[in-house]
Structure 1
Amino acid sequence: MISASWQRSLAANVDPDLHTAPTVFAADELSDLRERHPLHPMLPLLRETLLGFAEEAGHIMVVADAQGHILWCEGSKGTRSYAENVGLAEGTLWSEGAAGTNGMGTALALNSPVTVHSAEHLVRTYHHWTCAASPIRDPDSGTTIGVVDLSGPIETVHPSMVALVSASARLAELEMLTRMHSQDEELRSRNMRHLIALRGEPGALLSQTGRVVAVEPYGLLPSRVDVSADRVELPDGREAVLEPLSDGYLLRIPRQRHVRRSVLSLSFLLPEPKVVLDGREVPISSRHAEILCALALHGRLTADQLALRLYGERGNPTTVRAELHRLRAQLGPDVLATRPYRLTADVEADFLAVRTALKAADVPLAASRYRGSLLRRSEAPVVLAERDDLATSVRKAVLQRGDGNALWAFTQTDSGEHDVEALEQLVKLLAPDDVRLALATARLRRLGQDD
């Protein structure tokens, strides 16, 4: 890592005998840059997690933008004075191309946490310094927006520096993600009326960066849309219209009037299955719900294939055909076609929506869509397999993500309410003043008593 950084720095003509990093911004220019930078609201959190350690250890906390311009430099007064002598000060540029191998510049170049100690610095002036830095990424775009660094004289080096800096960067990213979700919710609450006013016309609410925060029908759009023009060509070739809102956009996709398909909504993650056809609830038996589930999952199936999926090896195709005849009479031939059996309506299924969210790595959305086990009283092989796989996938995703809201949503379902590991992680993540902490702790205690 260090050798490659030196090569990049030398290729950029950095002089190893450089005495100070270049100053790019004067003091009177910094105020506006700081106010507009997305890390400005994160400064209180970074100060809380790093400044105490920095001052006690004789370090300074440095925060720079994605190009390596230092915007904030705080911490030990003595170390700050020492740092200014080598240009480690606000307004200077510490990219590898400007200052050679260093914590901030190399972390930005690699997009990864790094430690650069003493003579690992290319520039000899910095051989008396040690630094640990970690990039900070925007949870909306995924791009790196800055870097946080702890620097100090070599005699103050501490083995936990890089771990502490990395943890602080992740906390800042988590805080930005929480704020993003809050802004999304505010966008939905203010503007959902615009989506409803489309009266069945496909559409979506988008953030200012083009992220989809609400869409009807679900699955209509990718997770992000280009909002650089007032008209958008979607991946399927259709053209959508963008209308600006105060805090985002309304996207409309005019429906082609000559092609009207029925919309079949399947809510099978509820305690009781619910089927809605073109806005009208349809009474449904457990067996018919299993048939619809199999067709939604597998598309085109023969009576023999359906019999195997519904009854296993003992399945009888004649029995399945009779059930399909009754279901087709109830839903209509424009919804359930034959030879092979298939759904010809636009299907909106909650269990498929969870799958789509998981595939897009949108764990918070998957957890909020997952309301419980799939057709929880069914013993059909096709349902059992999908039920177990879906629950396992959601559980794995929320545990790996470590998102308190997603874990809370999962532990409120029949799949997660007795999950000790999920509850233990949830208790660790929730803030002390979060009302959900007491509920989760009490349930965890009851589960321990039951054992």
Structure 2
Amino acid sequence: MNKDSTIDLTRLSAMDVALASRLLRGVRDATLSGHRPRVRPRPEIGESWDRMLRGGVAPDRDVRRGLLSADEVEERRRSSPLLPVLPVLREALVTVAEAAQHIMVVSDADGRLLWREGHPAVLRKGDRHGFMVGAHWAEDVVGTNGVGTPLVTRRPVQVFSAEHFVESHHQWTCTGAPICDPRDGRLLGVVDVSGPVETMHPATLSWVTSVARLAEARLRERHVATLERLRAVAAPVLARIRGRAVAVDPHGWTAAVTGMPLLDRVALPKSLVEGACWIPALGACKAAPLPGGWLILVDDAPEPLTATRVVLDVSRARRWSVEVSGEAGSWSHELSPRHAELLYLLALHRTGRSASGLAEDLFGDPARTVTVRAEMSRVRRYLGGLLAHRPYRFLEDTDVEVVLPDDPRDLLPHSTAPAVVGARVPGS
């Protein structure tokens, strides 16, 4: 085995587990002491260890924060967008997890464990490690793990034995997959299957990933059904309106329109109330409540949006936003991972970037212009007239500020876009 190789967990048999655990311990110890290990850690693990070393997480002891109270857990459960798909997760994971001496946990987007079920003996072992309902298992709290690391990378991750940054977790294997809102990519939480090292199975990663995708499909079905109900309510109302109007759900997703092209979504003010309002993609409007949503009536003679300031915040590891302010007021919008990348790139290239240039930046392939144009079309739906095209760019009179992380290596850690990866290199 040469020094440029990594351990392939997909080929481990039961007899290999103990040997692999010892080898990984040597890899971790060498890496943490600043020496070159015999083999490299897997890329997602090595990058996580680097974040932990820079963040000051102690590798030789647990760094835990207090448990949520029972009332706080119950409140988070009630408001969790994952609550409707909990039966799907249980049906697909819990029975098999119990038989395999594993447990299933479901966290929210902050890394707080909200549900935990599975093999009774493993549940008791989890208690001793603080792996219990209400605990905070974000990566920057307890190190590399199957809940916190997928929250950062936005990709499924299996963390085996000494790949855990904190030593007391080395007797565990954790496999987690993020669950995202299928409408806009917003991170909702993680489903994780964990158990003792000796019960590790290479197929667990694909199994958990498939179940997470199934949960997202169920969420998509529920969304479609909700819009269908709102559309039925709005149809007779819209039929009586002569001008432009749109019926949207409480999150701005469009159920029906009249007098205008169909939009997927409009960015609603955070505290929308009945009466006059400003909708970025539509201008001056009036809002009226509907059962299950809002009726937005468009003013056909809106005031122009002037003196605009845009603040793009990509300083955090898991949540990014754009805030727009001007004479018409201010509003903010939480960004999907792809839109955070695109707006960051446009903020870097104020003179503009072609579709092929953005494709090169994002994918390393200038031919992928269809994907870029589709995503930019979605971005322009909520940024309205603040973006121009041919090339894509912020308008010249728009004041754009980008809030970056303190360390460039923490820039959009989920991203594999070549331009973002290059920007993470200090001094680049």
TM-score, with structure 1 as normaliser: 0.55
In the alignment, what sits opposite 1:167?
A: 210
In the alignment, what sits opposite 1:137?
A: 180
In the alignment, what sits opposite 1:226?
A: 268
Q: Is the Cα–Cα contact under 8 Å of residues 207 and 247 in structure 1 kept in the other structure? A: yes
Q: Is the Cα–Cα contact under 8 Å of residues 209 and 227 in structure 1 kept in the other structure? A: no
1:27 aligns with 2:70: yes
Following superposition, the deviation at residue 21 of structure 1 comes to 3.6
Structure with more contact order per residue of length (Cα contacts < 8 Å, sep ≥ 6): 2
- Which structure has the larger Rg? 1
Q: Percent identity between the aligned chains?
A: 37
1:147 aligns with 2:194: no
The alpha-carbon distance between structure 1 residues 246 and 361, as it changes in their structure 2 partners (threshold 3 A), is farther
Q: Residue 231 of structure 1 aligns to which amino acid in structure 2?
A: C
Matches within 5 A, 1:252-263: 252-255=297-300
Q: Is the Cα–Cα contact under 8 Å of residues 202 and 253 in structure 1 kept in the other structure? A: yes
Following superposition, the deviation at residue 190 of structure 1 comes to 1.5
1:17 aligns with 2:60: yes
In the alignment, what sits opposite 1:242?
A: 287
Q: Residue 224 of structure 1 aligns to which amino acid in structure 2?
A: V
In 2: Cα distance, 1:180 partner to 1:233 partner: 22
In the alignment, what sits opposite 1:190?
A: 233
Following superposition, the deviation at residue 255 of structure 1 comes to 4.0
Q: Is the Cα–Cα contact under 8 Å of residues 227 and 242 in structure 1 kept in the other structure? A: no
1:75 aligned to which of 112, 118, 128: 118
Q: Is the Cα–Cα contact under 8 Å of residues 20 and 85 in structure 1 kept in the other structure? A: no
Following superposition, the deviation at residue 254 of structure 1 comes to 3.6
Q: Is the Cα–Cα contact under 8 Å of residues 233 and 291 in structure 2 kept in the other structure? A: no
Q: Residue 269 of structure 2 aligns to which amino acid in structure 1?
A: V
Q: Is the Cα–Cα contact under 8 Å of residues 23 and 87 in structure 1 kept in the other structure? A: no
Following superposition, the deviation at residue 175 of structure 1 comes to 0.5
In 2: Cα distance, 1:21 partner to 1:148 partner: 20
3-state SS, counterpart of residue 62 of structure 1:
strand
Following superposition, the deviation at residue 359 of structure 1 comes to 4.7
The alpha-carbon distance between structure 1 residues 227 and 247, as it changes in their structure 2 partners (threshold 3 A), is farther
Following superposition, the deviation at residue 216 of structure 1 comes to 1.8
In the alignment, what sits opposite 1:46?
A: 89
In the alignment, what sits opposite 2:359?
A: none
Matches within 5 A, 1:349-428: 359=374
Q: Is the Cα–Cα contact under 8 Å of residues 184 and 213 in structure 1 kept in the other structure? A: yes
In 2: Cα distance, 1:218 partner to 1:156 partner: 58
Give structure 2 stretches of 5+ with no counterpart.
Answer: 1-43, 302-369, 378-428
Q: Which has the higher helix share?
A: 1
3-state SS, counterpart of residue 103 of structure 1:
coil
3-state SS, counterpart of residue 30 of structure 1:
helix
Q: Is the Cα–Cα contact under 8 Å of residues 234 and 240 in structure 1 kept in the other structure? A: no
In 2: Cα distance, 1:205 partner to 1:233 partner: 13
In the alignment, what sits opposite 2:99?
A: 56
1:98 aligned to which of 141, 144, 158: 141
1:202 aligned to which of 244, 257, 266: 244
1:214 aligns with 2:256: yes
In the alignment, what sits opposite 1:178?
A: 221
Q: Aligned residue pairs: how many? A: 261
In 2: Cα distance, 1:220 partner to 1:233 partner: 15
In 1: Cα distance, 2:113 partner to 2:279 partner: 40
In 1: Cα distance, 2:214 partner to 2:96 partner: 16
1:108 aligns with 2:108: no
In 1: Cα distance, 2:246 partner to 2:84 partner: 29
TM-score, with structure 2 as normaliser: 0.57
CA RMSD of aligned residues (A): 2.4
Give structure 1 stretches of 5+ with no counterpart.
Answer: 257-354, 363-451
In the alignment, what sits opposite 2:128?
A: 85
- Greater shift, 64-73 or 30-39, is seen at 30-39
